[in-house]
Every structure is written in structure tokens, then in C-alpha cells.
Structure 1
Amino acid sequence: MNARDRDRLPALDSLRAIAALAVLLFHYTSGYERVVGPHTGPVPNVEWGHLGVELFFVISGFVIAWTLERSSSLTDFTWGRLARLYPAYLAGAMITGIVVFGIGFNPSQIQTRDIAWNAIIGLPQLVKANNLDASYWTLGVEVSFYIMAAAATYALPKLRFEIFCLVWLAVSLAVRGFLPGHVRFQLLLVSNYSPLFVAGAMLFALSPAMRPDRLTVATFAAAIVVAFVGIEPHWLRPTSGAGVCVFVGLVFLTATGRLAILNFRPLVIIGQASYSLYLIHQVVGYWFIFNAERLGVPPIAAIAAATLLVISASIGLRTVVEVPAQRFIRNATRPIVGYEPRAAMADPLQPMQTITRIEGMQPIRGSSDRPKNFE
């Protein structure tokens, strides 16, 4: 195992893999029949698989809170996010574009004019254009969270992050309740998903190294409560709230090193490539399943083969595009960012106990340290 692998928390990678595979199975069963058409034979209904997206958002809240704490500046954070998101996104969009416009498999009726809007993550939803892959809507949600969290952190350095989270939760509720028709505003504000990100962020804030107080606990509790609150006539969302509690529990157990059972190497590898897998699985998988079934392959076998195909392709993308591009961008921007990473340090995915043991004190925002495995 190399140094990079030792700096990761494998169980959290496995949790990402589970979330990605859940979304994949949802798309290949229920989603396929809605977008492409009926399978040629019976398949299981994995309708619950869409909940994998919500698990991703909780994980993202946890990791981004740590990333903001360790980033030396807004420039550091911005370049880190660009390095993480864009190389794989452009590669995934290119592969999807080849299937849609080159091969001609276009069940979602994506137009050539949509291509330009897809150059900026999250823009298609705001201008009512189509994403090249319908899964890309979640990237816009993530980017909106990054922008708001970074703005609160660096524009208002004396403001407690908990205060930002509480205001965000309150405004999200108000927008959902009083401005239900303002779709673009809700997209920019991420009003439907703020409890997920806040709950994940507060999990990090509750780690002993961060010296949590009553405000931290209150903010975490507020996120859980808001997860149960809907809008009229369905003001109570017990299923959604219970799901958030389960996901928060899973991330907590993983972050504290209590889910060692997930240290299963194949699952860890898929989790490390989960971003690329998420980017390419839908359209490419639909195309493969559609053609396999036309050749007489049973739907279950076609789904299994498509799953192996996109997992293999995503691991290849991570190896050939994601990791080299991130390394190149970080090295190229080092004079701009002005940081020198330490030879060995805690990673954002290390267990909370390990973070406490290594750091010993509350991390100081704006320090020159930066995690090697900055994801």
C-alpha cells in the first residue's frame, strides 16, 4: 500500500462506493424504463437507490468543512475544487457526448445547443438547458454549496461557521415555504438539500479537535429537525428525516473508525473512482443495456455487464485523468496559492480520533498546511 492509500480512510471510500452503486442500480432499473423504455424482461425495482445522492451530500458536507478549515486561502480552496471537479467532468462529458452525438443514442433528446451550457457545471439548470447526462444536476448542487460555504468562511472570517449554517437552514425553509415557484433561486440556494450538507459539516465540527460547544450541537440538531420539515400540505417528512439520520449515523461511524467492516479492497477502489463512475454511468450504461437487450441478452445480465463496464471505465478515468490532472493543477498553481504541504499530515478522511491525536489542537483556518489527499 502506498503513502497515498495510507492517508485515506478506506471505509469512507467504501461508503461512497455504496452510494454510487445505489444510484447506478436505480438508474439501470427504474430510471432506464422511464428514460429509454421497458426492459425486455423483468428486473428488480431499485427505486430506493436515488437516496445514494443524499448520502453523497452528507459526506460532502463533512469533507468540505474539513477542507475549508485546512485551506490556506480562498485561492487555495478554489483551485483545489477546480482540480477535483473539472478534469474528470470534462472527460466524462466528452465520453457522454460521443455516445449522444457521435453514436446517436439520445433518449433524452439533448440538443447540440446544450453543449455550450454544459461547459460550466450547474449552468444548464439555471438557463433551462439539458445536462449532457441527467446525473449532472447534483454537481450544480455541490458547487452552490461550495460557493456559499467558501463565501461565509473567507468573506466573513470572524463569523462562526455554525451561524452561517443556521441562517442557511432558516432561509431554505422560508424559500421552500413562501417562494415555491422561484425554482432558480431554490437551485442557487440549495434549499432542498441544506440539512444534508449542514449535518455532514457539523459532524466534522463536533470532532474533539474542533472543540465543539453548545452552538455546534444546536446547529447539528437544527439540521436534523429541518430534514423532517416539508411544506404544506406535507409539512412533516418522516421518511426523509429518518433517511438523513441513517446517513449521518453511517458517516459518523465511518469518520470515527467504527466501520472497519467496510475496509473491503474492491469496494474501496470503486469508492476512490466514484466521481468518475457517477459522471459516466448513466448514458453510457443505458446505451450498453439497450443494445445488449436488442441482441437477446437477458436484462439482468445486461445490467451486470453494463455495471462492470462503467466501473472499469471509471477506474481507468481516475488513473489516466483524475489523479494526473489534479497533481498537475496543484503543482502549476503552487506559486499562486503559496503553500508548501508537509511530508506527513492528517487527511480529511482520517478517523476523528486520528485527527485529534495528530493535531492535538483545534486546526487553525488559514494555516499553510494542506492535506495530500485533497478530495
Structure 2
Amino acid sequence: MSERHRYHLIDLVRFVAAFMVMVFHYTALGAADVMEGRKRLLAPMEVYPDLYPVTKYWFLGVELFFLISGFVILASALNRSALEFAISRGTRLYPTLWAAVLFTTAILFLFHGPYFNMSLVDFFANLTLLNDYARISDIDPVFWTLHMELQFYGCVFLLILCGVVQRVHWWLAAWMALTICYALFKQPFFMPWFLPPAYSAYFIAGCIFYLGGQQGYRLFHWFMLALCVLLSLYHVPAMVGQFIEVQHTADQWICMGIILSFYVFMFLISIGRLNIKTSSTIVLLGGLSYPLYLTHHMFGRYLIDLLAPVINAYLLLLGLTILALALAFIIYVAVDKRMAKSLRALLTKLLIRSEPEATAIANN
């Protein structure tokens, strides 16, 4: 996306979404099973009972992520070849993931000691993000969202490769039809192999918000957004059952309200009613969001288990937040800004012959 058309607020919103998920994990989870030989981890919801009634809804930062992803990825895909898109997305996704897998493995080894039993196959499978197809568990549960993202990237790559990505209305309509059929009839049964049925509405809506912002909203956009909202709300009871430990009658209604507010927020961004001027701080926060999301969970959870009995809970939460941000900053600077950028430039130079074009892609 060119600088003239860049939506700078998206960078800040991406960070807010990651921060929401981090606080949810630190304050609103239940007890967790760990490797054989260790006791169950403490339940953060019991360590922070005053925060839990509010932060238990902050798992919805993931849904906000998916809305942003649809918006940003469509913008990126429309003006790139399949190879350019693959290089851009792959070098954004994988180097930081590899750093996160290494860090999380070290944390598990540190805290589990002799009970640490992860195999090399599990480790290397996690580096590929294809481990779910081999029925190998994620090293860190938060990686589940990356499988959704990778499926989305893969489908967009194929659309570009087949030369039909510009026919956005057609393939979005087809994706919507598949999503509705799966929600109602669990067909086609193979849809989860290549697209996330329960979260497709958010990706589709993100794409529609980008199109509406660029082209002006027309009947097709409104109709698709209405279907996306209905599908998002349809899945709320299942999400509440999965993510909220202690549930109340109002939880589903509150989650629905939060999701609707996300839709309204993204609509206002798309039409330019909400915007901010870019700054180095906004760019930095946007850059921190991905490593923060990937690395905060396991080390924070184990430190809560270790330190909550002996340290003031709120000082601990503040310290964990600072540590998580510091770690995200280190990975952002060392991996994303250096290693990933160098890898992107190298792949672009090797695989794309046009030097001016290669320079532009490498810097994007």
C-alpha cells in the first residue's frame, strides 16, 4: 500500500489487539495442565479476581486481528505478483515465528527440566506452521491463530497465481457461500483444511472494508458486511464457551456488542473518519504487535505461577508487561528489522530480476 493511501491507525489498532490478548492471558485464564510430574499452573483469573470481569472479554483481540488481516492482506495482494506476495508475507511471518519457537522451547525446558519431552520432530514441525496437518500440537497455544493466517495467505497466493485476485467480488462471494454452508450443514467437510470456517467472516469483512474504503460502499459491500456480522454473532456462543472460564448470562451479549464495535470501528477507519498522523512511535507499536503476541504467553504464565504467591499481584502484572514489551522490542529490532528485512531483500534479488522493483518490494 502506498504511503498516500496507508491507514496509519491500523498499526496502533494491531498493537492494541495484541495487548488485549496478552492481558487476557495474564489475568483471565483458568488453571492449565502441564507436563507429567509438575503441578497444574495457577489460574490467573484467581490471581486477578478484580480484573477478571473486564479482561475475560479481551480474547476478542484475536477477532480484531483477523479483521485487520483481511484489510491489510487484500491491499497487499492487489498490486503484487504471486512471488512478490509470497516473499512479502513469508518473510513477515516466519523469521519472528522461528525466534518465538526457540524462545518458547527454552522457557519450557527451563521450567520443566527433566520432564521436558518435546521431540525434534515436534520442534521442527512448529517451525513450518504445518504441524496441525500432521496432528502435532503447537509449542505455544497462541500459535493457533497463525494457522488461520497461513490458510488465508495460501488462498490469496493461489488467487494471484491463477490471475483472478482482481475479481475480488467473485471470490469473496464464493468464500462467503462456503462459509455459510459450513456453518449450517458442516459442508464442504474439507473446508477447515484450507480456510477457517469459524473466523472466515472476519477476514472477509476486512477485505470488504478495504474495498469499500477504496471504491465507495455499494450494495454488494453492505450485503456482504451484513452476512459477516450475522456469521460473527452466530459463532459467539461457541467462543464464549471456549474462552471464558466462569460464564454469566450477559457474556454472550457483551461479546456481541464488542464485536459489533469492532465492525463500526473498522468501517470508520475505512472511510477516513478515524485517522492519525504517522510517527515513529506508531510504527514501532505496530512492529511490536506480532512478536508481543507470539512470545508473551508461556513465560508470563510460568512466572505468574512462580511469583504470584510471593509478590504483589499488580506489581507482578506490571513487571510481566514490561518484560513482554522489552522482549518484543528485542525480537522486532533483531529479527524483523534486520534478519527478516535482509532475507526479504535476498529472496527478492534472487527471484525477481527487476532491480528497481526488487528494491521497492524489499523495503515494503
TM-score calculated relative to the size of structure 2 = 0.80
Tell me, which stretches of 5 or more residues in structure 1 are unaligned? 343-367
Is the CA contact 1:117–1:124 (under 8 Å) kept in the aligned structure 2? yes
Q: Which residue of 2 aligns with 1:221?
A: 226
Query: What pairs up with 1:27-66 in 2 under 5 angstroms?
Result: 27-31=25-29, 33-34=31-32, 36-39=41-44, 41-43=47-49, 44-45=51-52, 46-66=55-75
Q: Which residue of 2 aligns with 1:203?
A: 209
Counterpart amino acid of residue 327 in structure 2: A
Q: Which residue of 1 aligns with 2:15?
A: 17
Q: Which residue of 2 aligns with 1:323?
A: 337
Distance 1:233 1:20 in 2: 22
Q: Deviations over 1:159-184 (max 9, x none)?
A: 621221111122122223323895x7
Q: Which residue of 1 aligns with 2:147?
A: 140
Cα distance 1:163–1:8, how it changes in 2: closer, same or farther (>3 A)?
closer
Cα distance 1:190–1:57, how it changes in 2: closer, same or farther (>3 A)?
same
Q: Which residue of 1 aligns with 2:246?
A: none
Which structure ranks higher in relative contact order (CA pairs < 8 Å, sequence separation ≥ 6)? 1
1:117 aligns with 2:125: yes
Q: Deviations over 1:88-126 (max 9, x none)?
A: 10011101010112442799x8733521321211x2333
TM-score calculated relative to the size of structure 1 = 0.78
Distance 1:303 1:181 in 2: 44
State the SS of the aligned residue for 2:269.
helix
Query: What pairs up with 1:1-375 in 2 under 5 angstroms?
Result: 9-31=7-29, 33-34=31-32, 36-39=41-44, 41-43=47-49, 44-45=51-52, 46-71=55-80, 73-104=81-112, 111-112=118-119, 113-121=121-129, 123-157=130-164, 160-179=167-186, 185-186=191-192, 188-208=194-214, 210=215, 213-230=218-235, 242-260=257-275, 269-294=284-309, 296-335=310-349, 336-339=351-354, 374=364
Between the two proteins, what is the percent identity of the paired residues?
A: 23
Is the CA contact 2:345–2:359 (under 8 Å) kept in the aligned structure 1? no
Distance 1:231 1:170 in 2: 20
Distance 2:221 2:271 in 1: 18
Distance 1:49 1:276 in 2: 18
Q: Which residue of 2 aligns with 1:351?
A: none
**1:304: Cα distance to partner?**
1.5
**1:61: Cα distance to partner?**
0.3
More helix by share: 2
Q: Deviations over 1:140-194 (max 9, x none)?
A: 0001011112222331427621221111122122223323895x74253210111
Distance 1:311 1:333 in 2: 30
Is the CA contact 2:87–2:344 (under 8 Å) kept in the aligned structure 1? yes
Distance 1:239 1:116 in 2: 40
How many equivalent pairs are there? Answer: 338
Cα distance 1:298–1:233, how it changes in 2: closer, same or farther (>3 A)?
closer
State the SS of the aligned residue for 2:57.
helix
Q: Which residue of 1 aligns with 2:243?
A: none
Is the CA contact 2:17–2:61 (under 8 Å) kept in the aligned structure 1? yes
After TM superposition, the structure 1 stretch with the greater mean CA deviation from structure 2, 130-139 or 224-233, is 224-233
Distance 1:163 1:5 in 2: 28
State the SS of the aligned residue for 2:308.
helix
CA RMSD of aligned residues (A): 3.5
**1:242: Cα distance to partner?**
4.5
